[in-house]
Amino acid sequence: MARYYFHIRRGETTTAQDLEGLEFATPEMAIEEAIKAAREIVAEMVLAGRRVEEQEFEIRSSDGAVLKIVSFKSAAGLD
């Protein structure tokens, strides 16, 4: 199992850094988790009456390599 980190960023600025990460058997499982989490965050924003902003998950492996960028809006089908 490998550890992946899900940093939240807006544009080029990291707004929340994941210091703990999560373990997954494959990179694809980490990407699927990021998509699910992004959808949940968007749903919470909508239910709270907040504007869905341009945020995204930057998924990094334990060696610091960027695996994928997951847009919250894209994950929720809003783009």
pLDDT digits (tens, 9 = 90+) for 23-46: 999 999 999 999 999 999 999 999
DSSP H or E stretch at residue 7: strand 2-10
Confidence (pTM): 0.88
Confidence tier at 12 by pLDDT (50, 70, 90): confident
Kindly list the distances between the CA atom of residue 33 and the CA atoms of 5, 8, 51, 57, 79, in Å, as whole numbers in the listed order: 11, 14, 23, 11, 20
